[in-house]
Structure 1
Amino acid sequence: MGAYDHTLARVETYFDKTATKTWERLTSDAPVSKVRETVRAGRDKMRALMLSRLPADLSGQRVLDAGCGAGQMTIELARRGAEVVACDISPSLVDIAELRTPPELLGQITFTSGDMLDDRLGDFDHVVAMDSLIYYSGADIGKALKRLEPRTSGRVVFTVAPRTRLLMGMWYAGKLFPRSDRSPVMIPHDADRLAQDVMGEGVKRKLRRVDQVTSGFYISQAMELRP
């Protein structure tokens, strides 16, 4: 099993067996702890930022929501008129996403569980991957983008964990004090070094920074490949 497949298996175990209820609650309007409130707010800001990189009207365009989770991004893409392929490694989260989707949007969305890089998902106008590549090394992110690049005519917008002092402190604390219900360890990245790693894997488009969102315990950097 390669590094990407090994990490994918750990992510699947966490989201589909350990943390489904936690993520179902976090992505709803249900009350959560103060810490998780900051994470929820940060994710809302990041989702809006990523969506701002795509056309306001996506009618007739095919978009991959890679790592769709509970479907918040999926619904927003469909509201813009996109034909969305909503894929997540966790069948449980995909079921939640489908149940939460307004009935009038269901005809625009294909829900599926499995590897978001699967070639059988087809070609796309755009790809968004919010917090679904944050557990991978630079080389593995490069390999993932190399698989998506020839199948995507427009933008690939995704997030990574930035290599900031605050996040690195939390990262080391997490390694020192692991808990069984904690998610797989994120791998922080320096954007310039990540761009080199991606280019080293044969990706032809230039990797660009978009912006960073910091909200309490949520710290994330948006990146994109564009034509």
Structure 2
Amino acid sequence: MRDEVTLSDTAAPRYSATLNRVETYFDQTATRTWERLTSDAPVSKIRQTVRAGRDRMRNLMLSRLPADLTGARVLDAGCGAGQMTIELAKRGAEVLATDISPALVQIAEDRLPQEYRRQVTFTSGDMLCASLGRFDYVLAMDSLIYYDAEDIARALHGLEHRTDGRIVFTVAPRTRALMAMWYAGKLFPRSDRSPVMIPHDAGKLAIAAQNQGVIGSVRPVDRISSGFYISQLMEVQT
């Protein structure tokens, strides 16, 4: 069963504007693309590298959590088509799976095996909404990559107050290759292109989080590079 969740009352105007762009892209422009990418359907060689990179990152993120999550409440923040949601449910977690795109949430819900239905609650809306409640762990895979350091820091600060364990998330790292793609996206915008990722330096992001009031240690864990997929795994140890 899906509940509509409104934007966080404390979201800054810049954050809300980015959120709206991301929603428009994933809910209107790229739904079928992501449905195909996150399935076993044949894709181009470029998208194969993205699929492989995302699979590796998902496994890496899951490795930061206990193998047995029975009784734990976990937020899958930006659940997309639900691959992480299924893996968390397999470990016994009670999962709150949310995404800004109602269309992707519906795909995730349709894909969830029947045996895990009672463990998972699906919502669509702002993953930072306080009404989602408290969690033992938070996973945010590629759902913060479109935001600047201040907005990410604010997001981590809000989540930290509602999370008892680790917050595990990804950002776009400031690599030479990714910066080249970033500038290309700035110079040649297209209506069907995804919202531009904002690359971050892990150390500067940790400082921004501290300045925003994050108490836990914000640190880089590892990086996945697979063709056109480049992503930095980070975590907040609360």
Report TM bin, short chain: over 0.9
**CA distance in structure 1 between the aligned counterparts of 2:42 and 2:146, rounded to whole angstroms:** 27
Q: Which residue of 2 aligns with 1:106?
A: 117
1:37-76 alignment runs, 5 A limit: 37-76=48-87
Correspondent of 1:148 among 127, 151, 159: 159
Q: Which residue of 1 aligns with 2:133?
A: 122
- Return the TM-score normalized by structure 1: 0.99
1:86-105 alignment runs, 5 A limit: 86-105=97-116
What residue ranges of structure 1 are gaps of 5+ in the alignment?
Answer: none
CA positional deviation for 1:3: 0.8
Q: Which residue of 2 aligns with 1:18?
A: 29
Aligned residues: percent identity?
72
CA positional deviation for 1:176: 1.7
What residue ranges of structure 2 are gaps of 5+ in the alignment?
Answer: 1-11
Q: Which residue of 2 aligns with 1:208?
A: 219
**CA distance in structure 1 between the aligned counterparts of 2:116 and 2:21, rounded to whole angstroms:** 32
CA positional deviation for 1:173: 1.4
Task: Give the superposed CA RMSD.
Answer: 0.7
CA positional deviation for 1:39: 0.3
Q: Which residue of 2 aligns with 1:188?
A: 199
Q: Which residue of 2 aligns with 1:160?
A: 171
**CA distance in structure 1 between the aligned counterparts of 2:184 and 2:16, rounded to whole angstroms:** 26
CA deviation map 1:64-83 (0-9, x unaligned)? 00000000000000000000
**CA distance in structure 2 between the aligned counterparts of 1:41 and 1:176, rounded to whole angstroms:** 28
Q: Which residue of 1 aligns with 2:6?
A: none
Tell me the SS of whatever aligns to 1:166: helix
**CA distance in structure 2 between the aligned counterparts of 1:130 and 1:71, rounded to whole angstroms:** 11
Tell me the SS of whatever aligns to 1:151: coil
Q: Which residue of 1 aligns with 2:150?
A: 139
Letter in 2 for 1:140: D
Tell me the SS of whatever aligns to 2:161: helix
CA deviation map 1:18-61 (0-9, x unaligned)? 11010000000111111100000000000000000000000000
Check if 1:78 corresponds to 2:64: no
Q: Which residue of 2 aligns with 1:221?
A: 232
Letter in 2 for 1:59: T
Runs of 4+ deviating beyond 6 Å? none
The count of aligned residue pairs is: 227
